[in-house]
C-alpha cells in the first residue's frame, strides 16, 4: 500500500503555496480522458506533499492532531468494507459494535442505560440534542412545525461553540433566541447569571427549554460548572445538554474527570473521540439518558423500503430511524479497535494523562495553569515590552500573532492558531493532544515564536 510513508514524520508541518500556484502544481482540472498510472501516482504524492501534516507533532492548530495506528487500521477497514450503518441486514457487525461503544461511553458519563448514535461531527450531535429536547417539550412540533409552539429560548455561555447558533438557525428557532450567559475570567459559565438570563427570557415572553453547557470550550478549554447548572435545570424543568465534544475524553481519567462533575445529571452529552482520543475524523457521539426511545420517535420516518416490519430478525436492531441521515458512515470501528488494543487503562494513559502532563510542564512557569490542554498566550515582541500603558499597545499587540502565523506557515515549521476573544486582542492558542509530542517539540514552539517575532 505504501501509504504509511505519508505518516512518517515530515520535516515540515506544511508546504505553503499560494492558491493559484498550488492549483497549477496539482493540475486539478478534470478532463474527458484519464491519465496513465505513473501520472496518477505523482498526483497522489503531490496531494500528500502539499497537504498539512496534521499527524506532525508540531501541529497544534486544531482540536484534533496526531495519529493512532489502531484507529487508522479501523478507518482503512471501514473504507474497504464500505457499508451504511442503518440496518442490521447490511451492517450486522457495526450495528452491534456501535451499541457496545455507545454503552461504554455512557457508562463513563455515569449512566447504566440510555440511548445514542454516532453523528457526522459535534455540530450535528449538538443539533440532535436541541431537536430531541424540543420534541420532548413539544411533541407536536414534528407534525405541525414551529407555528404550534410558543417562542422558545436556548441558553448557553458566551464562550460556547458556534454550533449552538448554527443549530438555532437551522432548526427554525432563530439565533436571537439563543441567550448568552456570562462567563468568569477562565471562561466558565456563571450559574447565577444563567438563572437571571432565564428570568430575562421569560420576561420577554419566550419559553426556556434547553440549556447548552460546555465541557471544554474551544478557545480557553473551560469547563462549565455542571452541578449548579443541573440544579437550575432541575428546578426549571429544562433539558440539560453538555457539549463535551472537546472535553469529554477527561471522563477516561480518574485524575481529571472531576472537571465534569455532575455530568450524569445531564439529559444529553456530545462527545467527539476524533478530538482527544485521536480516532481520526469523523467520530462524534450524541449520548442520551433517555430510555423511552425519544431519539427514534423524534427522527423516524418509517421508510418501508428500508425498515420493513416483516423482516425475519428483531427490527429494533435497525437503528436508521434514530438518525436524521439515511445512509450513515460507520464511525465506531476505529474507536472500538483502539479501545480493544490498549483497554480503558491504555487510553487513559496515552490519550489523557500524557497531554495533560505535557501541558503542565510547559506551563509550569506561567501565571496561571490552564485547566485543560488549551494553552493560550500572547507573545510580546521586544518593541512592546514595558509599553503596556501606551494607548496603541492593544492595537499593536493584535497585529503580532497574525504576522507570526504567516511566517510560521510560510516556513512550515509548526502550526498553531490565534484569535481575539471578548476584550482580549489576538492571542495564540496551542492545543496539546498528540502523544507523539515531546518536551523538545514544546520548547521548540516557544523558541520558534521568539525567532519569528523578535523583530516585531
Residues 122-181 contacting a copy of itself, CB under 8 A: 122-124, 127, 131, 141-148, 151-152, 161-163, 165-166, 168-177
Using CB under 8 A as the binding rule, whether residue 312 contacts a copy of itself is answered as: yes
User: Cβ–Cβ contacts within 10 Å for residue 170, how many?
Assistant: 13
Give me the least distance between CB of 234 and a copy of itself, in Å please.
26
Using CB under 8 A as the binding rule, whether residue 52 contacts a copy of itself is answered as: yes
Per the CB < 8 A criterion, the answer to whether 88 and 331 are in contact is no
Using CB under 8 A as the binding rule, whether residue 305 contacts a copy of itself is answered as: yes
CA dist 373 and 279 (Å) reads 18
Using CB under 8 A as the binding rule, whether residue 9 contacts a copy of itself is answered as: no
Using CB under 8 A as the binding rule, whether residue 395 contacts a copy of itself is answered as: no
The region of 31-39, 231-239, 352-360, 437-445 touching a copy of itself under the rule CB under 8 A is: 31-39
Per the omega criterion (within 30 degrees of 0), is the bond before 280 cis?
no
Give me the least distance between CB of 232 and a copy of itself, in Å please.
23
The region of 82-90, 227-235, 252-260, 389-397 touching a copy of itself under the rule CB under 8 A is: 82-90
Per the CB < 8 A criterion, the answer to whether 284 and 386 are in contact is no
Using CB under 8 A as the binding rule, whether residue 11 contacts a copy of itself is answered as: no
Using CB under 8 A as the binding rule, whether residue 315 contacts a copy of itself is answered as: no
Which one of residues 11, 30, 364, 386 is an interface residue with a copy of itself (CB under 8 A)?
Answer: 30
Using CB under 8 A as the binding rule, whether residue 203 contacts a copy of itself is answered as: no
The region of 28-36, 230-238, 256-264, 442-450 touching a copy of itself under the rule CB under 8 A is: 28-36
CA dist 409 and 89 (Å) reads 48
Using CB under 8 A as the binding rule, whether residue 299 contacts a copy of itself is answered as: yes
CA dist 44 and 375 (Å) reads 35
Using CB under 8 A as the binding rule, whether residue 69 contacts a copy of itself is answered as: no
Using CB under 8 A as the binding rule, whether residue 110 contacts a copy of itself is answered as: no
CA dist 404 and 418 (Å) reads 10
> Closest CB to a copy of itself among 384 and 409?
409
Using CB under 8 A as the binding rule, whether residue 380 contacts a copy of itself is answered as: no
Which run of H or E residues covers position 180?
strand 178-181
Using CB under 8 A as the binding rule, whether residue 350 contacts a copy of itself is answered as: no
Give me the least distance between CB of 386 and a copy of itself, in Å please.
25
Which set of grid coordinates corresponds to residue 231?
440544579
Burial class (CB in 10 A: 0-12, 13-18, 19+), 62: middle
CA dist 428 and 50 (Å) reads 24
Which one of residues 204, 344, 383, 443 is an interface residue with a copy of itself (CB under 8 A)?
Answer: 344
Using CB under 8 A as the binding rule, whether residue 254 contacts a copy of itself is answered as: no
Using CB under 8 A as the binding rule, whether residue 1 contacts a copy of itself is answered as: yes
CA dist 362 and 443 (Å) reads 8
CA dist 301 and 324 (Å) reads 9
Give me the least distance between CB of 146 and a copy of itself, in Å please.
4
DSSP 163: H
Which set of grid coordinates corresponds to residue 158?
458566551
CA dist 106 and 109 (Å) reads 5
Which one of residues 311, 360, 361, 450 is an interface residue with a copy of itself (CB under 8 A)?
Answer: 311
Using CB under 8 A as the binding rule, whether residue 314 contacts a copy of itself is answered as: yes
Which one of residues 236, 315, 421, 436 is an interface residue with a copy of itself (CB under 8 A)?
Answer: 421
Give me the least distance between CB of 93 and a copy of itself, in Å please.
5
* CA 13 remoteness from chain centre: 22
Give me the least distance between CB of 446 and a copy of itself, in Å please.
21
Task: Sort residue 428 into left (φ over 0), alpha (ψ -120 to 50) or beta.
Answer: beta
# chain residues binding a copy of itself, by CB under 8 A: 143
> Closest CB to a copy of itself among 185 and 302?
302
The region of 179-187, 235-243, 357-365, 410-418 touching a copy of itself under the rule CB under 8 A is: 410-418
Nearest to 373 by CA among 25, 48, 65: 65
Which one of residues 155, 339, 372, 379 is an interface residue with a copy of itself (CB under 8 A)?
Answer: 339
Give me the least distance between CB of 213 and a copy of itself, in Å please.
18
> Closest CB to a copy of itself among 153 and 232?
153
Amino acid at each position: 500500500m505504501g501509504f504509511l510513508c505519508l505518516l512518517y514524520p515530515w520535516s515540515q508541518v506544511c508546504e505553503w503555496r499560494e492558491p493559484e500556484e498550488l492549483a497549477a502544481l496539482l493540475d486539478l482540472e478534470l478532463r474527458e480522458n484519464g491519465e496513465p498510472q505513473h501520472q496518477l501516482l505523482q498526483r497522489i504524492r503531490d496531494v500528500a506533499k502539499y497537504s498539512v501534516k496534521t499527524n506532525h507533532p508540531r501541529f497544534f492548530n486544531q482540536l484534533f492532531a496526531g495519529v493512532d495506528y489502531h484507529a487508522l487500521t479501523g478507518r482503512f477497514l471501514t473504507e474497504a468494507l464500505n457499508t451504511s450503518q442503518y440496518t442490521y441486514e447490511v451492517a450486522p457487525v457495526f450495528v452491534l459494535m456501535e451499541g457496545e461503544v455507545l454503552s461504554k461511553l455512557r457508562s463513563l458519563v455515569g449512566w447504566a442505560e440510555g440511548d445514542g448514535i454516532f453523528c457526522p461531527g459535534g455540530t450535528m450531535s449538538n443539533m440532535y440534542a436541541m431537536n430531541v429536547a424540543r420534541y420532548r417539550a413539544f411533541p407536536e412540533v414534528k407534525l405541525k412545525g414551529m407555528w404550534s409552539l410558543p417562542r422558545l429560548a436556548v441558553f448557553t455561555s458566551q464562550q460556547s461553540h458556534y454550533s449552538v447558533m448554527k443549530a438555532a438557525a437551522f432548526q427554525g428557532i432563530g439565533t436571537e433566541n439563543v441567550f448568552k450567559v456570562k462567563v468568569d475570567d477562565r471562561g466558565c459559565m456563571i450559574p447565577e447569571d444563567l438563572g437571571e438570563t432565564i428570568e430575562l427570557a421569560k420576561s420577554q415572553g419566550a419559553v426556556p427549554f434547553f440549556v447548552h453547557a460546555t465541557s471544554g470550550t474551544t478557545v480557553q478549554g473551560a469547563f462549565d460548572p455542571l452541578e449548579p447548572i443541573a440544579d437550575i435545570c432541575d428546578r426549571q424543568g429544562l433539558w440539560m445538554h453538555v457539549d463535551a465534544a472537546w472535553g469529554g475524553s477527561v471522563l477516561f481519567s480518574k485524575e481529571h474527570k472531576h472537571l465534569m462533575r455532575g455530568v450524569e445529571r445531564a439529559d444529553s452529552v456530545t462527545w467527539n473521540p476524533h478530538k482527544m482520543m485521536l480516532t481520526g475524523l469523523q467520530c462524534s457521539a450524541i449520548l442520551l439518558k433517555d430510555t423511552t426511545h425519544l431519539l427514534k420517535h423524534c427522527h423516524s420516518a418509517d421508510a418501508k423500503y428500508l425498515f420493513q416490519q416483516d423482516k425475519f430478525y428483531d427490527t429494533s436492531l435497525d437503528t436508521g430511524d434514530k438518525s436524521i441521515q439515511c445512509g450513515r458512515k460507520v464511525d465506531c470501528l476505529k474507536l472500538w479497535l483502539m479501545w480493544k488494543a490498549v483497554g480503558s487503562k491504555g487510553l487513559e494513559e496515552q490519550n489523557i494523562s500524557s497531554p495533560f502532563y505535557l501541558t503542565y510542564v510547559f506551563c509550569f512557569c506561567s501565571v496561571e495553569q490552564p485547566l485543560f490542554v488549551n494553552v493560550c498566550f500572547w507573545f510580546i515582541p521586544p518593541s512592546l515590552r514595558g509599553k503596556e500603558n501606551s494607548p496603541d499597545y492593544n492595537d499593536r499587540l493584535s497585529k503580532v500573532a497574525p504576522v507570526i502565523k504567516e511566517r510560521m506557515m510560510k516556513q512550515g515549521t509548526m502550526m498553531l492558531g490565534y484569535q481575539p476573544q471578548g476584550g482580549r486582542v489576538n492571542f495564540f492558542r496551542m492545543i496539546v493532544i498528540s502523544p507523539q509530542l515531546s518536551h523538545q517539540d514544546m520548547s521548540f514552539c516557544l523558541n520558534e515564536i521568539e525567532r519569528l517575532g523578535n523583530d516585531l
